[in-house]
Amino acid sequence: MTPTREMLRRDAAYDRWGEAHVNGQLGAAAERMLEEELGTGEPLPPVPLDAVRIAPGAPIPEAVVAAAGGEDALSTDDEDRIRHSGGKGYPDLIRMRRGTVECAPDAVLAPPDAEHVAAVLAACAEAGVAVVPFGGGTSVVGGVEPVRGPFERLVALDLTALRNAIVDPVSMTAHLGPGLRGPEAEAALNSEGFTLGHFPQSYRYATIGGYAATRSAGQASSGYGRFDAVATAIELTAPAGPIRTLQTPHTAAGPSLRELVLGSEGTLGVITDVTVRVRPVPERKLYEGWFAPSFPDGIEIARSLAQGGALPDVVRLSDRDETRVSLAMSGLEGAKRRALETYLRLRGRRYASSGCMLIVGWEGEREDAERRREISRRVLRSGGAVPLGGSPGSSWEHGRYEGPHLRDLLIDRGILVETLETSHVYGRLDELYAAVRSALADGMSAGGGRGIVMCHVSHVYRDGASLYFTFLTAARAGAEIEQWRGLKAAACEAIVGAGGTITHHHAVGRDHAPYMRSEIGELGIDTLLAAKERLDPAGIMNPGKLLG
Amino acid sequence: MTPTREMLRRDAAYDRWGEAHVNGQLGAAAERMLEEELGTGEPLPPVPLDAVRIAPGAPIPEAVVAAAGGEDALSTDDEDRIRHSGGKGYPDLIRMRRGTVECAPDAVLAPPDAEHVAAVLAACAEAGVAVVPFGGGTSVVGGVEPVRGPFERLVALDLTALRNAIVDPVSMTAHLGPGLRGPEAEAALNSEGFTLGHFPQSYRYATIGGYAATRSAGQASSGYGRFDAVATAIELTAPAGPIRTLQTPHTAAGPSLRELVLGSEGTLGVITDVTVRVRPVPERKLYEGWFAPSFPDGIEIARSLAQGGALPDVVRLSDRDETRVSLAMSGLEGAKRRALETYLRLRGRRYASSGCMLIVGWEGEREDAERRREISRRVLRSGGAVPLGGSPGSSWEHGRYEGPHLRDLLIDRGILVETLETSHVYGRLDELYAAVRSALADGMSAGGGRGIVMCHVSHVYRDGASLYFTFLTAARAGAEIEQWRGLKAAACEAIVGAGGTITHHHAVGRDHAPYMRSEIGELGIDTLLAAKERLDPAGIMNPGKLLG
């Protein structure tokens, strides 16, 4: 038997995003802007790993350990327990930096395959041990927090060992194991000439199982489709047994169990296999920057692209504040900055005063990508956008997974920074945008601080689009989590009030669970709970998440 | 109050497809071919409506009638009860023609709006009255049969009065009432410049509620998307209350309740509102015919079109037998037939011996449709297909809703005719095709009759395609339904054995319910039943369907 415990990944930093050696610093322009707009925060350096305090773990019943594959599949090391004590949301990072991880799993289990997962779940149900399925640990909504619920013991079930990848090149589908990280899945597919085309910001660490459990969306999902649109079949290993949906391109055989398992966030069982549609590795990736006259104009352009069938594979429209901050953060200074400003002014005063950055990209066979680019460009131009060429596109591509590192640098500097996202139909998108912006701005100023709220559209559909907000304010040292909670609640209430969804792709986890009643209603929740009770009669699966 | 009972549609023939005055006859070539290949059947003329025997209806509790809106919403006329006693499957038509409708609803209720639907369901749950939601009555799988289950009384709940249509032109979405028939929905949308693009063969009579409840697919669904792909939000009025999913373009907020309601076939409650994505009315519809060298070659072409991103909006590939029979049925004779044969022979012997008809179509703005046609044509040519021009395309368009009328003419003539459909990934499509074909051919010859089995691909996806089979054999007079049952079972078992889905778009109804265990497994069924028990605790909703 493989010593699966040894597979637990310790390459990542425990207290920040990504690998331990990744570092960086804010540029001078960014520092200046933050100083001017937010003032000086109190730096928050992390404590060393061995200073992180956790309570000793309760012993795990022998039957559970045996079911997982024996001692080789078990870790009770403090380091592994700490690394499995949460995701990468702002509160997770604060707790880790302060060294006050109050809850950690009693142990980490790393079963070698799906059969052992089934055995573990049966043993845990029998023994009354709560189970948190654990993939990349990148949740930003408390999706992997070790909430015990009514149970005295809790294990994190690390799925690292489940990393199968079997490609069917004729059907252009692949079976992928839940433990594959984004780059591992891509490497397996690329070697046969295919790509999943799924590149969320968490791509380097998030896993296939996590994509499925949270209905992930990637940066190119306007083109390739969200994860729930490319997943054609799924295997759920629940405490009550397995559900395997048929692998056919489509079926009319009743309600979709696949769509019941997608988004279930580990509360129904463990996703042990996902079948996905894949595509040929694109011959070309063409990304470029444009400047829309304003955010509403940019949204109109996105709508025209989508509704006219000319949608690029990547569309990312920043609002005025995000455009301004991005330009400062990018370190575009001096002559280059002035050249951009002159270029925009020459095209019309409004571009310099209210213009918004738009990144668009096309992927595929050269001829096809170029043809589609030509069609999109016509729509962009007729919507009043002006081209900035390939350079902003390359910058975006280069930095597309860097956002979370930037967050760490801001937290270092004593800044509270959080992102949240929603979506709505075009007819109500402006209302939703205004509501969330004011809720955050008001919340920050009521807290006595200055703040920045910025937003971008990251996913575009025929009927509407997503909105992705980032907000920054000086953190209240020692009360960061309370401060965060107040601002997050204000934003969530604004979203609910404007009829948007509580989450477009971050999922529900623990943070959004209180809003599920607004999202799907009392009876909707009860219906999902009825399904859960059948699949997980003991209620051991990921307590406190999704439905609370 | 509107006298909703008066809205019950009596324009249709009770004993055949479509409107009472629609008639027609088989051409001489078709008659000759049937005579040669199947022999003479015993004609089966229908009995007049007033000779159809039904048992008297049990009285409906007053509270139920009051909840529906009073006497105006109630019909206990034999004619209405007969018209609501089944769908339009082969067994339905046979029972009607023989005048032996054993089961009919005790009454037909036609509530004026969703509020009255809610009240009716509550009253029926209280009084123990089974409810069969009834839209266009076009089910071919026993989806609206009045199966009483444990209940002594049963009503058909006719949704004809629920015909709202509210368009949001900015978001390009529309709320549609469940009672709208295809052409009514199109008319409402067309008047604002939009189309649903959903054109199943049942289009003229099937309703929006039926599309949603059965996961309908239309002839242009390769382009516009199946109904479950265009439905973005749904309202279910269940006995336990309402579920309304949020109208946003996409959400990651948990398992999809929309996808639980889609395909629920009236077993969870009544679908009282559907929000759909709509598209601009296409400026052009370009349909044309091609001839593929063989059925496998044609499937390879379809696969290339789909996987290369050059998929037309309509793709319909007939196998060799369907091509042969269609040409005979179309009445293409004499000089025209000889000209086609000469044309094909000149392009290669194989076209005349194994060639298969392919109908392809592109819809949209002129320039866009033409450009996409050009790209598809290249793929068609490089796959070895030869063009037949626009005329087969027009013939197909002209006759696209005529199949069920043809079925009536065949039944008149004593022929058993049935269709069934499935889908699979490309890697296993040939296995599925061969299995179903032999099962049907063997079944027909074992019954001592000669038969014709034909097939076409009607819906094409990146990972696979649907297969739609039609089979004909001389009916065994007086034992048609037993004969049908044997052949249907043989085909279903072949589908299950080859790993195909039991239905790609006809839905489950009563006929496919025994195969759901193979489709989604024991635990899958139990999970759906748990959801049903929560939504319909008394079990009154459409007994005997879907999960049996």
Is B284-396 a CATH 3.30.70.3450 domain?
Answer: yes
Interchain pair A546, B251: CB under 8 A: no
- Give the side-chain half-sphere CA count within 13 A for A145: 26
Cross-chain Cβ contact B524/A462 below 8 Å: no
pLDDT score, position B146? 97
Same topology for domains B4-158 and B284-396, yes or no?
Answer: no
Please check whether residue A335 touches B, CB under 8 A: no
CB contact B198 to A (< 8 Å): no
Ramachandran sector of residue B274 (left: φ over 0; alpha: ψ -120 to 50; beta: rest):
beta
Flag if B520 and A243 touch (Cβ within 8 Å).
yes
Could you tell me which chain A residue has the CA closest to the CA of B496? Answer: A246
A288 vs A185: CA distance, rounded Å: 27
Q: How far apart are alpha carbons B417 and B452 in whole angstroms?
A: 10
What's B467's DSSP letter?
A: E
Backbone angle region of B160, left / alpha / beta, with phi > 0 → left and psi within -120 to 50 → alpha: alpha
- Which chain B residues have a beta carbon less than 8 Å from that of A253? 263, 501-503, 507-508, 512, 516, 519-520
CB contact under 8 A, A257 and B528: yes
Q: Which two tokens stand for residue A544?
A: 């406190």
> Which DSSP letter does residue A20 get?
T
Closest-CA residue to B453 (of B492, B495, B420): B420
Residues of chain A neighbouring B505 (CB-CB closer than 8 A): 252
Nearest CA in chain A to B213: A254
Report pLDDT for A316. Answer: 97
| Residue B516, min C-alpha distance to chain A (Å) | 8
User: What chain B residue is nearest to A460 in terms of C-alpha separation?
Assistant: B249
- The residues near B237 (Cβ < 8 Å, ≥ 6 apart) are B114, B117, B118, B121, B269, B270, B271, B272
Q: With contact defined as beta carbons under 8 Å apart, do A125 and A237 qualify? A: no
Q: Given phi > 0 = left and psi -120 to 50 = alpha, else beta, which region is B104?
A: beta
CA distance A315 to A338: 26
Q: Name the residue among A226, A530, A547 with its Cβ closest to that of B534.
A: A530
Say what the pLDDT of residue A1 is.
44
> What does the DSSP 8-state code read for residue B514?
G
Which tokens hold the place of B201? 């063969």
Q: Which residue of B has its CA nearest to A514?
A: B253
φ, ψ of residue B466 in degrees (nearest 5): -90, 155
Residues 6+ apart with CB under 8 A from A477: A41, A42, A44, A414
B174 touches chain A (CB under 8 A): no
Identify the segments of chain B with pLDDT beneath 50: 1
Contact assignment for A256 to B252 by CB distance below 8 Å: no
Tokens of A58: 């309760």
**Quick check: A246 and B499 CB within 8 A?**
yes
* Window 241-260 of A, Cβ < 8 Å to B: 241-260
Q: CA of A101, closest CA in chain B: separation in Å?
A: 27
Chain B residue numbers touching A308 (CB-CB < 8 A): 365
Please count the residue pairs, one from chain A and one from chain B, whose beta carbons lie less than 8 angstroms apart: 294
Residue A18 pLDDT? 84
CB of B166 less than 8 A from some CB of A: no
Q: CA-based angle A416:A417:A421, to the nearest 5? A: 140
Judged by a CB distance cut-off of 8 A, whether residue A521 touches chain B is yes
State whether residue A51 sits within 8 Å of chain B by CB: no
Positions in chain A whose pLDDT score sits under 50: 1
Of A228, A423, A516, the CB nearest to B248: A423
Q: Cβ contacts (< 8 Å) between B462 and chain A: which residues?
A: 172, 249, 277, 279
Contact between A176 and A230 (Cβ < 8 Å): no
Helix (H) or strand (E) holding B280: strand B279-280
Whether A512 has its CB under 8 Å from any CB of chain B: the answer is: yes
For A171, the closest of B250, B253, B464 (CB atoms) is B464
Rounded to the nearest angstrom, the minimum Cα separation between B496 and chain A is 10
Contact status, residue A525 vs residue A512, Cβ threshold 8 Å: no
Which among A243, A262, A526 has the least Cβ separation from residue B527? Answer: A243
**Fold designation for A284-399:** Alpha-Beta Plaits (3.30.70)
Assigned CATH topology for domain A40-158: 3.30.43
Does the distance separating the beta carbons of A254 and B508 come in below 8 Å? Answer: yes
CATH assignment, B4-158: 3.30.43.10
Instruction: Please name the residues between 11 and 30 in chain B that touch chain A, using a CB distance below 8 Å.
Output: none
Give the whole-angstrom CA distance, residue B461 versus residue A249: 6
Q: Which pLDDT score, from 0 to 100, does residue B1 have?
A: 44
Is B48 at the interface with chain A, CB within 8 A?
no
Helices of type H across A231-330:
258-261, 295-307, 320-329
User: Cα distance from A248 to chain B (closest Cα, Å)?
Assistant: 5
A244 → chain B, closest CA residue: B520
**Is A505 touching B (CB cutoff 8 A)?**
yes
Q: What is the pTM of this model?
A: 0.97
Contacts of A428 in chain B (CB under 8 A): 171
Read off the pLDDT of residues A481-507 as tens digits, 9 standing for 90 and up. Answer: 999 999 999 999 999 999 999 999 999
**CB of A368 within 8 Å of any CB in chain B?**
yes
Q: Which residues face A119 on adjacent strands? A: none
Q: Residue A56 carries which DSSP code?
A: P
Question: Nearest chain B Cα to A242, which residue?
Answer: B523
Q: Which of A424, A523, A528 sits opposite B254 (nearest CB)?
A: A528
Nearest to A240 among B245, B250, B523 (CB): B523
Question: CB A255 to CB B505 under 8 A?
Answer: no
Chain A nearest C-alpha distance from B51 (Å): 36
Window 298-327 of A: residues touching B by CB (8 A cutoff) are 303, 307-309
Query: Residue A369: CB partners within 8 Å, gap ≥ 6?
Result: A282, A283, A284, A285, A286, A362, A363
Q: How far apart are CA A490 and CA B155, in angstroms?
A: 49
Q: Helix, strand, or coil here: B454?
A: strand
Q: Report the alpha-carbon distance of residue A450 to residue A378 in Å, rounded.
A: 41
Closest CB from A246, A264, A426 relative to B170: A426
Chain A contacts of B241, Cβ < 8 Å? Answer: 522-523
- Can you give the pLDDT at residue A523? 98
Residues in chain A: 548
The distance of A213 to chain B (nearest Cα, Å) reads 8
The CATH T-level fold of domain A165-246+255-280 is 3.30.465
**Of the options 3.40.50.10600, 3.30.300.330, 3.90.1150.140, 3.40.30.10, the CATH number for the domain spanning B404-507:** 3.30.300.330
Q: A179 and A208 in contact (C-beta within 8 Å)?
A: yes
Is A249's CB within 8 Å of B424's CB?
Answer: yes
**Which string of b and e fits B412-428 if b means at least 16 CB within 10 Å?**
bbbbbbbbbbbbbbbbb
Tens-place pLDDT, residues B149-194: 999 999 999 999 999 999 999 999 999 999 999 999 999 999 999 9
The architecture of the domain spanning B165-280 is: 2-Layer Sandwich (3.30)
